[in-house]
Amino acid sequence: MADQGRELLRHTVATVAYRAAKALRDAPDTFAGSRMGVTTRTPLQILVHMGDLFDWALSVAKGEETWHDAAPLPWAQEADRFFAGLRAFDDFLASEAPLSSTFERLFQGPVADALTHVGQITMLRRLANTPVKGENYSRAEIVAGRVGPEQSSPRREFD
């Protein structure tokens, strides 16, 4: 059962990577700092938080839980940091190292939160008039371990 939980969590992390890569790809330079309202985070602030989530996830998985609010980097560097965090977390999940947390806690905290924020960035892209095409994600080629910005081409996009 532990292997199944670990593999499902790795597949979910790959799903975050697939959806995030699509949401971040080809964003115009002005997008990172755009603000849709006085109380909303900018896309860059959301992306920084997403990177922080996977740093936290790894610390929880290792039993060394810590939270750190990273200082924002430029958009491209922040995207690299986010995907590096996904890679480090996935590498740990793929290893033989014992998990110091339950799969459920790792999913319901950092992983599910990241999915929410990917949705926010996707929505903000639409509001900024640079929409990301919708897709039948159940048909996407999502593979555990593929957690970088390079992802398979969409199989079934729609407008």
Boundaries of every domain in the chain: 2-28+41-145
Predicted pLDDT of residue 10: 98
Identify the band that residue 159 occupies on the pLDDT scale cut at 50, 70 and 90. confident
Q: Does pLDDT of 2 surpass 80?
A: no
Q: Does pLDDT of 121 surpass 90?
A: yes
Predicted pLDDT of residue 150: 97
Q: Does pLDDT of 108 surpass 90?
A: yes
CA dist 102 and 19 (Å) reads 24
**Domain range 2-28+41-145, CATH architecture:** Up-down Bundle (1.20)
Q: Does pLDDT of 78 surpass 80?
A: yes
Predicted pLDDT of residue 130: 94
Which of 36-45, 52-61, 80-89 shows the lowest mean pLDDT across its residues? 36-45
